[in-house]
Amino acid sequence: MRGSLEQLGTDRRRLRVFAGREGTGKPRLVRRNVRGTKRQATNALAKLVADVERGQIADGHPGSVADLLDRWLSEIAPLRSAYTMREHRRSVARDIKPATGALRLGTDREGRPAPDSRRRAA
């Protein structure tokens, strides 16, 4: 598996690593922007390639808000008491999932692509 570096500015670079194909056949690329020297970017690229090969890079979008909530609850469970987890699960099931659980990440309530929050208005 190989990656590439793209210079964005004097000390900024974009790393890209091929991470397989989506269900539609479209290539899936993992991208990261880094600051620093070319040597630092090359080292970061090598680490990113290794992480992708080991499968340690999470998918960009787990699907819906409900999927993300379920993943969050499973990750915090070892760090919280049984009572706290019971209350979190109750709140999520009663209040949050019915209102927003079916929403797909990256879209608004009408299903349109959400605006990219990183872009500045002109």
107/2: higher pLDDT: 2
Reading the block at residue 79, the tokens are 């760090």
The partner residues of 12 in beta bridges, in order of sequence, read 35
Give every CB contact of residue 103 below 8 A, 6+ residues apart in sequence. Answer: 64, 65, 109
The pLDDT score that the predictor gives to residue 106 is: 67
Give the H or E element holding residue 59: none
Distance CA 95, CA 88 (A): 10
Domain ranges for the chain, please list them.
3-54, 61-116
Percentage with pLDDT > 90 across the chain: 42
Q: pLDDT tens, 44-81?
A: 999 999 988 887 776 555 578 888 899 889 989 999 99
Q: What's CA 69's distance to the chain center, in Å?
A: 14
